[in-house]
Amino acid sequence: MATDTGRKLYNVGGVMLKQPFKIRRLGHFGYNVHNMDECVVFYRDLLGFKVSDENDFKNNPSPQVQEWLKDIENGKGYFMRYGADHHAFVLFNAKVMDAMAAGRAAASGKSTEGMTGAHGININQITWQTGALSEVIGAYHYFNEREVPIMRVGRDMPGSNWHVYCYDPDGHVNELYYGIEQEGWNGRSKPRDMYYRGFREEPGLPQMSEEDEVDEALEKGIDIHSGYRSKEMLSQTFEVGGVMIARPFKITKIGPVNLFVKNVGASIEMYTEDLGFTVTEEVEYKGRRVAFLRNGAEHHTLGLFPEELRGELGWPDVSTCMSFGIEVGSYQQLRDAVAFLKEHGVRFLDLPAELHPGIDYAAYALDPEGNGIMLYYYMEQLGWEGKPRPAELRRALGPAASTHRVEDWPEALEPLSDTYVDQVFQGPIG
C-alpha cells in the first residue's frame, strides 16, 4: 500500500495534494434497466426527475454500432435532472449496454470483464465532480501512471461535461468530470447542433470557454433555444412549502451511493488512494466490515458493503448497487414521499438504522426492477476536524427508524446542530 512518505504530490490550484484533482461532490449516477417504460414512470413521474434529453443509441451513425444493435427494438436512454445540472441520473437500456460491451470486446479482442453492462453490473456510472478541466486531464494521466483501468476520456454530448472514466476493483465505472451543462429558467437543454464540440479523445489544453462556444454557435446560425424541454406528466396538485407541484416532495440532492463489493479493503484502497476519498466511519455489522467514505463535509457519499451481507439483509439480487440515495427537502417531505410512493404501489425494504450512520431517518424503496433507492432528508456534516459525531451524541432513534413505517415515526423532530445545513437547493422547486 502506498504511504504518504515520499509520495509524489500534485499542485491543484496552488495546493499540494496526493492526487492531481479533488472530487467535490457526487455529480450523477445511472442504472441500466430492462423494463424501460416502467422505470421511466418510476424515476420521472413518481420521484420527479425531469428528462433533460433522450438519446437513441440506434441513431448512432457508426455502421459497427448499427450492427451491434440490429436486434434491439428500442435503443432509447434518458438523461434526467432535479436541478440545473443537465443530468443527475441516467437510465439506459441494459440490452443496449450489453450489446455495446460485447461488440466493443469482440472488436478489441478483449473480454467484457469490467465493462459496463457486463457481469451483472447494472450501474451505468458513478460520477464525481472535480474543480477544473485541468484536474480531469490530470486524473487521466494519474490513472495511467497508476495503471488504473480507463474506459475513455473526452467530452460527451448530451451534457457537455469533460471527463475521464475508470473502473473500480469490481468493474463499476467511475467518472470524473468538469463543467456539466447547466439548464436555466426555461428548462431547455443545449441543442444537438452544438454537439460538434464533443471529444472522443484527450482534449488539448486550454479549451475555449462555454461562453465562446455559444457565441460561435450563434455565428454559425444555430438556434440555441431549440434544445429539448420536458413536460410534467402529472397534475400539480400537491402544495410543498407554498408551491403547487406534482408530488409531495422535491429531490434536493443525490447520493450517497451504497455498493455491494467483493472486497471492502481493496475498494477502500482504490477509492482513497486512487480517487482521494476519506473514510469517515466504519461499522461492524454481524462481524462484517462496512465503510462510509466522503469527499466533502457530508458524513458520506459512498458506502462499501461486503457482498455477503446481501443475503443477510434480504436485499434483491439484481444489482451491485445496494442503494442510490435521494435527499428530499425536509423531514415532512420524507414522510410524505414514502406515503405517496406506497400509494403508487412502490415496494419498500427495512434496513437497520446502524447501517446508515450520519443519517437519522431513511426509507429504502425499490424501483420496478428491484434496484434500491434510499430516501432521506438529513445528513450529518463534518467540521474542520473531520470527525463524525460520536454515536452517543447522535439523535436517539427508536425501533421504528429501522423500518419504513413512517406513520410510526415521530410527527416532528427536535433540531440538531446541522439540521438543514446541507439543504441548499437553488432555484424554484418546480
Instruction: Give whichever of 175 and 369 is closer to Fe ion, judged by the CB atom.
Output: 175
3-state helix, strand, coil in the chain (%, to 5): 25, 30, 45
Place of cell 495534494: 17
| Cell numbers at 47, concatenated | 420521484
Q: What span, in angstroms and rounded, lies between the C-alpha atoms of 277 and 256?
A: 13
Closest distance of CB 124 from Fe ion, Å: 8
Instruction: Give whichever of 126 and 374 is closer to Fe ion, judged by the CB atom.
Output: 126
Q: What span, in angstroms and rounded, lies between the C-alpha atoms of 257 and 198?
A: 28
Contact segment (CB under 5 A) with Fe ion among 133-141, 172-180, 315-323, 375-383 equals: 172-180
Closest distance of CB 175 from Fe ion, Å: 5
61, 140 contact by CB (below 8 A): no
| Cell numbers at 231, concatenated | 413536460
Closest distance of CB 42 from Fe ion, Å: 21
Q: What span, in angstroms and rounded, lies between the C-alpha atoms of 3 and 9?
A: 12
Instruction: Give whichever of 127 and 280 is closer to Fe ion, judged by the CB atom.
Output: 127
118, 94 contact by CB (below 8 A): no
Closest distance of CB 293 from Fe ion, Å: 20
Size of interface with Fe ion, in residues (CB under 5 A): 2
| Cell numbers at 191, concatenated | 441543442
Closest distance of CB 26 from Fe ion, Å: 11
Closest distance of CB 55 from Fe ion, Å: 12
Closest distance of CB 53 from Fe ion, Å: 12
Instruction: Give whichever of 199 and 420 is closer to Fe ion, judged by the CB atom.
Output: 199
Site string for Fe ion, 111-150 (x = CB under 5 A): ----------------x-----------------------
| Cell numbers at 127, concatenated | 460520477
Closest CA to 302 of 352, 344, 267, 337: 267
Q: Is 175 in the site for Fe ion (CB under 5 A)?
A: yes
Closest distance of CB 173 from Fe ion, Å: 9
Listed in sequence order, the DSSP H helices in 60-168 are 63-68, 94-108, 133-145
| Cell numbers at 198, concatenated | 464533443
Instruction: Give whichever of 150 and 397 is closer to Fe ion, judged by the CB atom.
Output: 150
Q: Does residue 158 have a cis bond before it (omega within 30 degrees)?
A: yes
Q: Is 381 in the site for Fe ion (CB under 5 A)?
A: no
Task: Identify the H or E element spanning 207.
Answer: none
For residue 301, the Cα-to-chain-centroid distance in whole angstroms is: 9
Contact segment (CB under 5 A) with Fe ion among 168-176, 310-318, 382-390, 400-408 equals: 168-176
Instruction: Give whichever of 127 and 381 is closer to Fe ion, judged by the CB atom.
Output: 127
Closest distance of CB 191 from Fe ion, Å: 20
Q: In sequence order, what are the residues at sequence separation of 6 or more whose Cβ sits closer than 8 angstroms to the Cβ of residue 242?
A: none
Q: What span, in angstroms and rounded, lies between the C-alpha atoms of 35 and 74?
A: 11
Closest distance of CB 163 from Fe ion, Å: 6
Site residues for Fe ion, window 218-257 (CB under 5 A)? none
- 3 state DSSP class of 298: strand
Instruction: Give whichever of 33 and 429 is closer to Fe ion, judged by the CB atom.
Output: 33
Closest distance of CB 104 from Fe ion, Å: 17
Q: What span, in angstroms and rounded, lies between the C-alpha atoms of 150 and 166?
A: 4
Instruction: Give whichever of 17 and 150 is closer to Fe ion, judged by the CB atom.
Output: 150
Instruction: Give whichever of 30 and 358 is closer to Fe ion, judged by the CB atom.
Output: 30
Q: What span, in angstroms and rounded, lies between the C-alpha atoms of 152 and 337?
A: 38
Instruction: Give whichever of 181 and 281 is closer to Fe ion, judged by the CB atom.
Output: 181
Q: In sequence order, what are the residues at sequence separation of 6 or more whose Cβ sits closer than 8 angstroms to the Cβ of residue 61?
A: none
For the chain, the C-alpha Rg in angstroms (whole number) is: 21
Instruction: Give whichever of 57 and 409 is closer to Fe ion, judged by the CB atom.
Output: 57
Q: Is 53 in the site for Fe ion (CB under 5 A)?
A: no
Residues that bind Fe ion (CB under 5 A): 127, 175
